[in-house]
Amino acid sequence: MKKTMYEKIWDAHVVHEPKGSASILFVDRHLMHEVTSPQAFEGLRIANRPVRNPHSILATMDHCVPTKAADRVSLPDPIGKKQIEVMAQNCADNSINLYDMNNANNGVIHIVVPEHGFVHPGMVVCCGDSHTATHGAFGALAFGIGTSEVEHIMATQTIQQQKSKTMLVKVDGELSEFATAKDIVLAIIGKIGTAGGTGYVIEFAGSAIEALSMEGRMTVCNMAIEGGARAGLIAPDQKTYDFLKGKEFAPQGEYWEQAVAYWESLTTDEGAEYDAVVELAAADIAPQITWGTSPEQVLPVDQAIPDPAQIEDSIKSLAAKSALNYMGLEAGKKMTDFPVDVVFVGSCTNGRIEDFRAAAEMTKGKKVAQGVQAIAVPGSYPVKEQAEKEGLDKIFIDAGWEWREPGCSMCLAMNGDYLQPEQRCASTSNRNFEGRQGKGGRTHLVSPAMAAAAAVEGKFVDLRNWK
């Protein structure tokens, strides 16, 4: 039978399929951070169960770590401090490889893991974090889990899973000059909706996806979850192999050729069928911006904010009305009519070197507008180091940006970086839910270039007619 990549990976990991219940699936890689793991370790201790395979785990601290250098030493939030200490203890007690706050490899889990080649094509990868889908960029089946499941994997190296349906999202053609991977994925979510992918694993394909760098592919897969999908996948190719080769946890020596041959066998068979297919033309994708409080409330930057009264679906209409109210926006106006107070470049969606290059490109020789706070938070220390090597930090600092230490920061505002009520933020992160970046804060999801241009102008701009 002809199989999709998802089905091949699934079949290669089924340990057992007991009648009348979920399948038991083997887990190759388990990624961990300080917020969703402590209770899992506690559970193991209470039940007196060991961690089955500590080598399958890579851990970091990212969610509640301060991004100001001084605060990283003093740790002003006592509860965050406790979480950090408990994480260190749990990892030490169980021989788990941890890149703690002061480790040269530290950063946001989904940025750190690829930097070391820890995830390979064809693996099953889990993490107590919904944006685990990021690693689908390597052709791995990667998805988020709850705390009980974190414990379950530590104890058994498996997870109980129901098989998902498959969806192919095909993006063909060439992107226009100012459209990026972020715009592709926002446009996809705009098209299918935040529940469009529910019950599915999405495979992204097409010439526009193939043309993306590994960084860009990670951005696309990262947000598969915002389209409701269990995971996102992209077939591995030469770019994937070049990215992995020589990395610390990549297959070494004689194994490399064997591994590549195996990876090449994983791609979807010609003629295999998907349960659903969605197609987009890359050329039609304009720079995107979200206007509401759900990632599906998104539009091309030059279009008018929708009028709830014109939305037929009554539930969507009501949601739009309440979103406009919360966001302090008016239907009929354009997003370029609105000023910004804060600009955030960072997160596991857009916190990689390419993202800072794009933002720096827009910033070079310009200044941050009066009254705007712009913060650049590298996704990891290696990203920070590379950016500094290229002099990007200088470009940001000279323009009036804050150049921070790595962490999740204002993506979820758990670490002391947050918006004040009614502050409007151009953010490169992935969720624009009410209160996500701070109580009453207003988040607009955009690409790094769009965010950086907004910092200069003090309002949103359409990059296509901005010099």
Partner 1 sequence: MQPYEKHNSVAAVMNRSNVDTDQIIAKQFLKKVERTGFGIHLFHDWRYLEDGSDNPEFELNRPEFKGAKILIAGDNFGCGSSREHAPWSIADYGFNTIISTSYADIFFSNCFKNGILPIKVDAKTLQALMDEVEAEPGISITIDLENQVINTPAGNEITFDVDPFRKETLSKGLDDIGWTLKFEDKIDEFEVKHKQQLPWLWPSA
- Interacting residues with ligand SF4 (CB under 6 A): 62-63, 108-110, 129, 131, 347-348, 408, 411-412, 429-430
Buried b (16+ CB within 10 A) or exposed e, 389-403: eeebbebbeebbbeb
For residue 450, give the nearest of 240, 302, 276, 348 by alpha carbon: 302
- Extract the tokens encoding 427: 């953010």
Q: Which of 7, 68, 88, 156 binds partner 1 (CB under 8 A)?
A: 156
The residue type of 388 is E
8 Å CB contact between 383 and 402: no
**What does the alpha-carbon distance between residue 422 and residue 433 come to, in Å, rounded to a whole number?**
14
Binding to partner 1 (CB under 8 A) within 418-437 occurs at none
For ligand SF4, the closer of residues 298 and 456 by Cβ is 298
Q: Which does 348 bind (CB under 5 to 8 A by kind): partner 1, ligand SF4, none?
A: ligand SF4
**What are the residues facing 200 on neighbouring strands?**
165
**What does the alpha-carbon distance between residue 61 and residue 100 come to, in Å, rounded to a whole number?**
6
For residue 457, give the nearest of 397, 346, 370 by alpha carbon: 370
Binding to partner 1 (CB under 8 A) within 331-360 occurs at none
Q: Which of 6, 28, 185, 301 binds partner 1 (CB under 8 A)?
A: 28
Under rule CB under 8 A, residue 251 binds partner 1:
yes
8 Å CB contact between 6 and 58: no
The stretch among 141-149, 167-175, 313-321, 399-407 that binds partner 1 (CB under 8 A) is: 141-149
Under rule CB under 8 A, residue 75 binds partner 1:
no
Under rule CB under 8 A, residue 303 binds partner 1:
no
The stretch among 106-114, 154-162, 308-316, 351-359 that binds partner 1 (CB under 8 A) is: 154-162
Under rule CB under 8 A, residue 148 binds partner 1:
yes
For partner 1, the closer of residues 47 and 309 by Cβ is 47
For residue 430, give the nearest of 290, 300, 320 by alpha carbon: 290
- Extract the tokens encoding 54: 């500590």
Binding to partner 1 (CB under 8 A) within 30-59 occurs at 35, 38-39, 42-43, 47, 49, 53, 55-56
Residue 310 region, left (φ>0) first, then alpha (ψ -120 to 50), else beta?
alpha
Binding site for partner 1 (CB under 8 A): 15-16, 18, 20-21, 24, 26, 28, 35, 38-39, 42-43, 47, 49, 53, 55-56, 64, 79-80, 82-83, 86, 120, 146-148, 151-152, 155-158, 160, 248-249, 251-252, 255, 258-259, 262
